[in-house]
Amino acid sequence: MQEQTTELLLFFTYEHLDDHLQAVSKPYCDLAHQSAELLPANTQLVACLQHLLEAKDAAVRAALIPRLTEQNPETMP
């Protein structure tokens, strides 16, 4: 496995998250590791993992919005 792939996979860990965020993040982690195992190590795998990481981050943020707005309703438009 290429060093860049190994480094990207570090960002898919989810054990540090609250339970409701782990449920959102885990499928992305599973898919990232599956992709790294099944696909050849090349620039397109790196691109795949980068886009998957962006999607995972967006999904986690989407799951956070309701809680953030409950805690700070005055900060939301």
* Residues 17-34: tens digit of each pLDDT: 999 999 999 999 999 999
Say how many CA atoms lie within 13 Å of 8 toward its Cβ: 24
CA distance 71 to 38: 42
pLDDT value of position 76: 58
Residue 40 has pLDDT above 80, yes or no: yes
> Does residue 35 have a pLDDT over 90?
yes
pLDDT at 70: 84
List the structure tokens of 9: 């996979």
Question: Region 65-76: what's the mean pLDDT?
Answer: 79
Which whole number is the average pLDDT over 49-54? 98
